[in-house]
Amino acid sequence: MYDTWEELERSIENCKKCKLYQGRTNIVFGTGNKNADLMFIGEGPGADEDIQGEPFVGKAGQLMNKAFDALEIEREKVYIANIVKCRPPQNRNPEKEEAIACMDYLRNQVMLVQPKIIVLLGSVALKNILGDEHSITNARGNWIENKGIWYMPTFHPAALLRDDSKKIDFWKDLKLVKEKMTLLGT
């Protein structure tokens, strides 16, 4: 574990723990308030994220920004990261060994941020953080408390782009997050 953001980011920049490093343009470290009470975790960077080196800047990120605006959540006040820090080819889901290779980096980010709430965006984030026994369709919309952190699993914004019917549930889940923030005084 690294004690500073600089040490952690430097270690990721030089990472070759899995094959994903071979195709990356940039690492996609994470972005936002490094002392945020609210953190979002996705699965991995897409093409736009790989080019810009920042998570959720493509179409899924634009959709997420609209939800933030509607709920009056300032993107700059949350922290956003992914399970893997390099783009999987053709935007496929990260393979288990790729996720495992990056997991210590993500744990280190969570340790440094110390969020009160983590929103798990999609099945990949849910299963890698809380375990394979969870499914996104059953877990979404339900609070899960673990080690003093409240987790809200919900659909990944990219899933909403493929299936409009999931937008209502995504919206409901983020409203629950906003309510929990108020209850926790964040």
Contact yes or no for 81/121 (Cβ under 8 A): no
- φ/ψ of 78, rounded to 5, equals -110, 165
pLDDT of 68 > 90? The answer is: yes
Read off the pLDDT of residues 90-108 as tens digits, 9 standing for 90 and up: 999 999 999 999 999 999 9
- Map tokens 């634009």 to a residue: 62
Domain CATH number, residue 20: 3.40.470.10
Query: In this model, does residue 49 exceed pLDDT 90?
Result: yes
Split into its structural domains, the chain has a count of: 1
At 186 the pLDDT is 87
Q: Give pLDDT, residue 67.
A: 95
pLDDT at res. 140 = 98
Q: Which domain, by its residues, includes 83? A: 5-184
Sign of CA dihedral 118, 122, 127, 133: positive
pTM reported for the whole predicted model: 0.97
